Amino acid sequence: MLYKILSVGLFFSLCSTALAQNSYQIKGFVIHANTLEPAKGATIVGEKLFSVSTSTGAFTINNVFKGKYVFTISHIGCESETISIDVGPNMNELKIFLTESTTVLDEVKVSEKTKKRKAMEVPIVSQTVTKGFLNNNRENSLMQTLSKIPGVSTITIGSGQSKPVIRGLGFNRVAVVQNGIKHEAQQWGSDHGIEIDQHGIQNIQIIKGPASLLYGSDAIAGVVDIQANKIPSPNYFDGEVNILGESNNDLLGISAGLSSIKDKWFYRTRLTYRDYGDYKVPTDQINFENYIFELHENNLRNTAGIEADASVSIGFVSEGITSETVFSNVNAKNGFFAK
């Protein structure tokens, strides 16, 4: 019995010696190729084998049998390296050099509208009205068109005359400025409208709050600043024709404009004509100040009108010099209901 136990023990001892003799150790260093500094935290990964380099860049993989192995060495910020190792006796320490990786990112475009940025930076309550807004919201007069803006309303007399009201204040508390010149007619009574052809305007700035006092003491409520139209580009010619029509008062009209520049001289011109009749309402009588008005064919009498506007400007532009002379005439005859 003792002989059998000794035989079994000798058998396992010989097997362990054979296994120990057939396993090896892989040792090496991972180094940055550019700086020759140790690469701490590099991973060495093979089939069922793994190791991580120390602060000195050293790594060790134990119990590796003889044969050929493929390892992938990776490190943050470096290109991965794949190597093939023949494991066996007389194997030297490995030195693995990793090169820094270059990552090319797609460009990032950051854009912003200048006017919107300025509105956020400057402590001025203002709003810019573009030509697109005017075209999409056009009413019988410019001030009626601007009444679509929050905080702006109008005092309207008849069908074509109106004055601006900003935050509940109007008349000589609101300044109307065109091309840097104040319209003094704004101070008159409610039956005097603003003498401006709205079809020839490109940009308007509505200013509210304390900043409006920069335009004078008569701008307590705000300012309607009608900006000068932009100067045409070199060798530029532009034409525009607007056909106007309304069914309620049989309005027919046309507005045509031309602008061009040659060398350093430019010109702009516009003609506008509108003709309309009395407004139609769905009743044959109305009560106005406790007085009953009988309406002929459902028409509000004395609400018809006619308007003929003309303007022309001639200018000169060169480096450091811009000059423009503007001639404008607004001729409107508007009816006032119940008069």
DSSP symbols for 281-335: -S-SEEEETTEEEE-GGGEETT--EEEEEEEEEEEEEETTEEEEEEEEEEEEEE-
Q: What is the rounded CA–CA span in Å between residue 71 and residue 83?
A: 5
pLDDT of res. 182: 87
The pLDDT of 209-214, averaged and rounded, is: 83
Q: Which residue has the higher pLDDT, 59 or 217?
A: 59
Map out the domains of the chain as residue ranges.
23-98, 114-226, 237-334
Look at the domain 23-98 and name its fold. Answer: Immunoglobulin-like (2.60.40)
pLDDT of res. 53: 93
pLDDT of res. 265: 92
pLDDT of res. 15: 45
Q: What is the rounded CA–CA span in Å between residue 314 and residue 44?
A: 79
268: amino acid identity, one letter: R
Q: What one-character DSSP code corresponds to residue 213?
A: G
pLDDT of res. 173: 87
Q: Which residue has the higher pLDDT, 224 or 156?
A: 224
15: amino acid identity, one letter: C
Two tokens at 73?
Answer: 């060495």
CB 52 within 8 A of CB 29: no
Determine which of 53-67, 130-144, 188-202 has the lowest per-residue pLDDT on average: 188-202
Are the folds of 23-98 and 114-226 the same?
A: no
The pLDDT of 131-137, averaged and rounded, is: 90
List, in sequence order, every beta strand (DSSP E) within 108-249.
125-130, 152-157, 161-166, 174-178, 181-182, 203-208, 222-226, 237-246
pLDDT of res. 181: 87
DSSP 104-124: PPPP------HHHHHHHHS--
The pLDDT of 184-196, averaged and rounded, is: 75
The pLDDT of 289-311, averaged and rounded, is: 87
Length of the chain counted residue by residue: 339
| Residue 214 pLDDT > 70 | yes
Q: Which residue has the higher pLDDT, 189 or 50?
A: 50
CA distances from 151 to 116, 138, 166, 213 (A): 19, 18, 6, 17
pLDDT of res. 156: 82
CA distances from 279 to 242, 248, 305, 306 (A): 22, 6, 10, 14
Please compute, for residue 3, the number of CA atoms within 13 A of its CA located in the half-sphere on the CB side.
Answer: 0
| Residue 5 pLDDT > 70 | no
Two tokens at 99?
Answer: 């090169």
pLDDT of res. 3: 47
| Backbone phi, psi, residue 132, to 5° | -60, -40
- Chain mean pLDDT for the chain: 84
Q: CATH says 114-226 is which class?
A: mainly beta
Q: What is the rounded CA–CA span in Å between residue 279 and residue 137?
A: 20
Determine which of 121-130, 198-207, 299-308 has the lowest per-residue pLDDT on average: 121-130
188: amino acid identity, one letter: W
The pLDDT of 111-122, averaged and rounded, is: 63
pLDDT range class, residue 133, cuts 50, 70, 90: very high
Q: What is the rounded CA–CA span in Å between residue 277 and residue 306?
A: 9
pLDDT of res. 193: 79
pLDDT of res. 184: 79
Q: What is the rounded CA–CA span in Å between residue 94 and residue 169?
A: 87
Residue tagged 């004509």 (tokens) = 273
CB 39 within 8 A of CB 46: no
pLDDT range class, residue 203, cuts 50, 70, 90: very high
Q: What is the rounded CA–CA span in Å between residue 163 and residue 30?
A: 82
Write down the number of H helices and E strands in the chain.
4, 23
Prediction pTM value? 0.59
Q: pLDDT by residue (tens digit) across 93-102?
A: 899 999 988 8
Determine which of 3-12, 127-136, 295-304 has the lowest per-residue pLDDT on average: 3-12
Q: Which residues contact 290 (CB under 8 A, 6 or more apart)?
A: none
CB 145 within 8 A of CB 134: yes
